[in-house]
Amino acid sequence: MGYESRVVVMQQHLNKIFEVSDHIRYVAIYRNGKLISRVRPNIAHASDSASDKYEELLVNPTILTLVSQRGNIDCGGSRFVVVRYGNFFQFMMRIDGGHVSVCIDPEADVLTLSQQLYESILSSTTIQAAAAIAL
């Protein structure tokens, strides 16, 4: 599969995640050192795209590593992480070779939506297949 085809496939995965809820503001998939993301247009209190990039490259992988390592000691592992920033929630979940990150409106029922995202990503053969394809 060529690079352009892989980008189209990854865009389809981003769209699938956005379909889970109108409360989703931003979605990123980071896989094998490649990042693809999209922001819902016209959202209030959006973070800067440059800071989003570094969050995906540095902050979120570090958080997921720390939580996974702690979870694997004696907590039965970890499924996902949710961080409450001032203007939004950030959902993070590991996939093979990377992670999925979803920014959620502060008005959302974040625990219910996080469980829906987890189940959708986990059960999606297309997103899991995307995790196996490096851009």
The answer, yes or no, to whether residue 122 has pLDDT greater than 70, is: yes
Hey, how many other C-beta atoms are within 10 angstroms of the C-beta on 3? 8
Name the pLDDT band for 1 (thresholds 50, 70, 90): low
Write the CA distances from 61 to 21, 32, 35, 55, 106, integer angstroms. Answer: 24, 12, 12, 8, 22
| pLDDT for 133 | 45
- Over the stretch 25-70, which tens digit does the pLDDT of each residue have? 999 999 888 899 999 877 766 666 777 888 899 999 999 999 999 9
| pLDDT for 3 | 65
Name the pLDDT band for 134 (thresholds 50, 70, 90): very low
| pLDDT for 125 | 53
**60: which residues sit within 8 A by CB, 6+ positions away?**
30, 90, 92, 99, 101
Domains of the chain: 3-131 (3.30.450.30)
DSSP letter for 59, please. I
Entry pTM: 0.84
- Over the stretch 94-118, which tens digit does the pLDDT of each residue have? 998 899 999 999 999 999 999 999 9
